[in-house]
């Protein structure tokens, strides 16, 4: 295996990834030509239509994290390369779960994990000095209007039992 593939800069350049607002790097690689009309979507889409599905490449290094956020759609994470990462999820009732996304089932890692719509979630690479390259598929398709980045104090107020995790995976300001 060529050594350059072991460096995140190789993948950022090769896949033409750009910085993502929640942390890491991404590029949208798929946006369905099919659209879902407002009559077929739940109220959380505010009466607007959506593309049927979208997909991105997402690269996260151990020096950063994907900050707590939520989207209106289900989001499937697919492992491609590098070190495993942990998805931390807080559902609307305050239940905390996690999924270890990676390539080693002997370590309880899964190739794919799904974050249900409306779930607050964050992600972090588990191994210092490493990175994870994953894909994220969203259906109905992702729109920034459906994306909400967590405010630290608001999330702590709602889920005080998870304060230390929220402080670790949110940004000030």
| Residue pLDDT, tens place only, 32-67 | 999 999 999 999 999 999 999 999 999 999 999 999
Q: CA nearest 76: which of 143, 132, 138?
A: 138
d(CA 55, CA 4): 25
Burial class (CB in 10 A: 0-12, 13-18, 19+), 122: buried
Q: Cβ distance 117 to 72 under 8 Å?
A: yes
| Residue pLDDT, tens place only, 99-131 | 999 999 999 999 999 999 999 999 999 999 999
- Taking the model in full, what pTM does it have? 0.93
Q: Which CATH class is domain 3-33+51-168?
A: mainly beta
């Amino acid at each position: 295996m060529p050594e350059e593939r072991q460096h995140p800069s190789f993948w950022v350049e090769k896949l033409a990834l750009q910085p993502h607002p929640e942390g890491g790097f991404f590029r949208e690689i798929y946006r369905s030509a099919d659209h879902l009309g407002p009559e077929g979507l739940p109220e959380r889409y505010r009466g607007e239509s959506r593309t049927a599905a979208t997909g991105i490449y997402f690269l996260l290094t151990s020096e950063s994290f994907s900050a707590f956020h939520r989207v209106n759609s289900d989001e499937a994470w697919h492992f491609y390369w590098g070190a495993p990462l942990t998805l931390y999820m807080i559902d609307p009732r305050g239940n905390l779960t996690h999924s270890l996304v990676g390539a080693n089932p002997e370590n309880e890692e899964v190739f794919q994990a799904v974050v249900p719509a409306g779930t607050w979630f964050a992600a972090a690479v588990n191994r210092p000095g490493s990175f994870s390259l994953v894909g994220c598929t969203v259906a109905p398709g992702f729109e920034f209007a459906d994306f909400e980045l967590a405010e630290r104090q608001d999330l702590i107020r709602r889920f005080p039992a998870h304060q230390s995790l929220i402080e670790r995976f949110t940004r000030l300001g």
